[in-house]
Amino acid sequence: MNRTRFIITALVMLLTTTARAQETLLFRLSNANGMEAWISNMNGRVVSLTAPNWNGRMENVIYDHDANAQKKMLEVESHDNNRITLQNQDVTITYTLTDQNALDVDILNKGQNSSVGNIMFNIAGEPSRNILAQHLWVDCKHYKKARQLSAYAKDLNKKVEKLNDGFARTFQLMHPGNSRKPAVIIYDTQSGRAMTVYTTAPALRLYSYTNLNGIGFAPQASATHTKLVFKFTTDPPILGNGM
Which string of DSSP letters, residue by residue, matches 64-97? ---TTSPP-B-EEEEE-SSEEEEE-SSEEEEEEE
d(CA 165, CA 172): 23
Q: What is the pLDDT of residues 211-231, one digit of tens each?
A: 889 999 988 876 788 899 999
* Other Cβ atoms within 10 Å of 195 Cβ, number: 24
d(CA 222, CA 21): 32
d(CA 124, CA 213): 10
109 closest CA partner among 96, 90, 94, 89: 90
DSSP 53: -
Q: Is the overall model pTM greater than 0.75, yes or no? A: yes
Residue 222 and residue 182 in contact, taking contact as beta carbons nearer than 8 Å: no
Range of 70-79, 149-158, 189-198 with top mean pLDDT:
189-198
Q: What is the pLDDT of residues 9-58, one digit of tens each?
A: 443 443 333 444 568 899 999 999 999 999 999 888 899 999 999 999 99
